[in-house]
Chain A
Amino acid sequence: MLIQTLVNGISLGSAYALTALGFAIIYRTLGIFHFAHGSVYAFSAHVAYSLITLVKMPLIPSVLLTMLAGGILGMIINFLIYEPLKRHASSGQVYMIASMGASIVLQNLIATAWGAITKVLVLPNLETSLYNIHHIGSAVITMAQLLVVIVTVVALATIALFSKSMIGLSIIALGNDSEVAENLGMKVKAIRYITLAVGSALAALSAVLVSIDLRAVDSAMGVPIMLMTIIAVIVGGTANFGAAIAGGYLIGLIKNFGIWAISAEWDNTLLFIMLVLVIMFKPAGLFGRKISKLGR
């Protein structure tokens, strides 16, 4: 029971960690409260559905293409919304409202393009192996769940390596002080596009993994994940990327243990109580100042 809850929590937390890291990269680097992140997630899930179920493309190219599509959508959002606002030195609130608007428009465009009906992501060739059940002690885990955990760890390790690269360091520098970064001759505009692309690609990766695991894809699926992402980032902390990842895993575990200890009716309430407590007593987030290996 305890192990099963732990397994479930880590699997769910992995998905949250990916979206939270994507959100944190965008938020910390550009200072944008990127509400459209959830819609990028939903869009990516639909792309994955089209590639895997309709086009019947193999899994790995589907995942990579979905990440590419998510990244491109992130750049389009930057081009259409954030860059014009940047040129006019708009305030953070304006960015946030514009991002909310973009999120609503995107959600409706997804419903228009793919239909609002819940779609089932079916893996024609891999179904048997991906949905096989494995035992960890008394707990069970499906291969698809395991895939979420493993791919997330690989992705997080890749991002950690990426953060040491020139582009990664540029992203961190831009987040630390955009004016200094610009004065040092960095191509800040290009870095802004790359930031949106990387952050969105992480949301896309989370979307495709979760969709394979849970099979259901619908146009409104970005809303709950966005809520959890925001809670994860605020609870974890925004001072560095590692804190957001830790926040994601924490939310996944609390959600699962909360349901076990109290009731499924109270899982979101529990998270919001924690959110309020963190904002009141640890406004920098639980891991805001402790975890600093990734990012600042």
Chain B
Amino acid sequence: MTSDGGNDQVNNQAAALELTAITKRFGSVVAVDNVDLEIADGEFFALLGPSGCGKTTTLRMIAGLELPSEGSLKIFGDEAATLPPNKRPVNTVFQDYALFPHMTVEVNVAFGLKMQRVPKVEIAERVREAIGLVRLEGLEQRRSQQLSGGQRQRVALARALVNRPKVLLLDEPLGALDLKLRQEMQGELKALQREVGITFVFVTHDQEEALTMADRIGVLNEGELLQVGTPAEIYEHPVNRFVANFIGQTNLLDATVVSNDTVCLANGVHIPGKSDLDVGSRVAVCLRPERAGMHRPDQVPADHQSVVGRLESVTYLGNALVYTVAFEWARLEVRRENQPGGYRPYVGEEVAVSWTLDAISVVRA
């Protein structure tokens, strides 16, 4: 307890990570371009983007494995941009786990503590605890070659968590696992994060993984941080065409801003659409397939906007049906839950694709 209340407060409010104008250049290539990012203590944060977007480089700069070309990187308020990895209170779960092949599970997990010269008794206790946390009891004496992919991942997690880092970094933590195991581990990772209460920052190219696990997502493309927000914010209000396209399935209709609540579609029709962009700027109207409705052209509800086209194909997914509707100026996908009864148009029929005002968002093209 300190009598200096103000100071105390500052420490409480310090973000787990604070990146300011972080840039990384490799020769003439800018891998990470002037990124500002704040991650709060206890957050489960996803860095999402296609391969080569700079997300792994960002993670490696936080870990200290890559030196930023310029910018500030603070860990709980302390500048760390130039600290070597062994001097940072963060640990990493590497993409292919990087388990030491000449050591058993137990020795792997104990490695970080041994390097920090933690007393032997405490090491034994904490290693046991960490191995219990990831449910690997009984495998302590195995070597990494004798473990399955999922078990290796747990060892990598235990090896990092045993050090009680202030921030845990995970580089494509589920990338090497097959689908079934990946889905299982998604839930487990999230539960684990809640249990230990440590800030997790993970890198992924899988938008579904990011949406499922993260509290907040940062979307990166070509070294630029395009948008930071909760999964719902990012999914429902993408800032631009790239984000809208990258997160989930979407229909993007080219349009132009007419006024702050009207846009003009490519077919010349004016529709309501809120945006704060300049009149005349080119935009895209983002309509998620599951938010679009489909009706007989003469039965569109009064409060719906609609466009009429010809049903081109139907894809049967079991739990849902995806209808592709063609227009002369665009093509739209409409996803309908597979419910009994209801409107079931045939291929070739004229249909109206409809939406309410709150179903669409206008994004920068």
Bound together: no
Residues of A participating in the B interface, judged by any CB pair closer than 8 Å = none
Query: A-contacting residues of B (Cβ < 8 Å)?
Result: none
